Amino acid sequence: MEQMPAAIVDFAAALKLLGQSQSDVAEIVTKWDLICNTDTPRTVEIQLSNGVHKVDNLAKIRNDLIAGLSLNEPTCKTVKFSAYRVDGRISATDRTSNAWHDEGGNPYDPSRVGWESYAKFMRAEVSSVCMPTTNNINVRMHQLEPVIFVGWATDSGGTPITSFDFHIKSMPTGVANSLYSGKQYYTQVTFVNTNPNGDDVTLKLWYNDADANGYYTRVLPVYRNVTFLVWAAIGQDRVNIFEMKNDDEGAI
């Protein structure tokens, strides 16, 4: 007759293991309140069958985390941000941001889903080149790129556009959750004429679409640039435009 393995018939060993597990459970249950305590920081000793274990309770863990974070001057290697239409990152040496526009919301190149908005390094900041692909553009003041190249052909070729209508509107009420309504906000935009044929570019900047004469016309010679200051309150019917010059001219 073949003898059965001792592991199957050694009931004494099995009962010993069962007793040890029950004592371990009892020890953990007894010390559970001390482990979960959030008022008094302490290290709890737990006597288990395989030895003594030391466990920091929740109060001590919280205190250690706060002390290590240094809330006044936190130290971190990288911070990343993400949302539905944007994402970006901040590190010790650079900051980058990707921006996507809603369908039909990109007035400069509707065929593209998005672009790298900017990358700021310790010594320089670079942004994607903005070149309008249509002559009639509706844009909110906060959507204006800092620099806009005009008069150049589109990426797909064709005849360069030399006359533009920019319908500039104030920021919508939807941004009021991060800005104060009723206050005036401003931005700046610089147009650069990069026409390859040496032609002038005509800019018609609409500051009030409700007025048939609510626009300012500026003829920009080739290889020249012009900067405008644009300001308005959130939801304002019209925006204010001022051409940045070294004299008192240019107010609208």
Is pTM beyond 0.85 here?
Answer: no
Which pLDDT belongs to residue 75? 73
Alpha-carbon distance of 165 to 80, in angstroms, equals 38
More confident residue, 181 or 139: 139
Percent of the chain with pLDDT over 90: 33
Confidence of residue 24 (pLDDT cuts 50, 70, 90): confident
Sign of CA dihedral 157, 158, 164, 168: negative
More confident residue, 84 or 206: 206
Write out pLDDT tens, residues 43-73: 999 888 888 889 899 998 888 887 767 667 7
Alpha-carbon distance of 226 to 205, in angstroms, equals 12
pLDDT higher than 80, residue 246: no
Alpha-carbon distance of 102 to 166, in angstroms, equals 19
Tell me the CA end-to-end span of the chain in Å, nearest whole number: 110
Write out pLDDT tens, residues 89-107: 888 888 888 777 665 566 6
pLDDT higher than 60, residue 165: yes
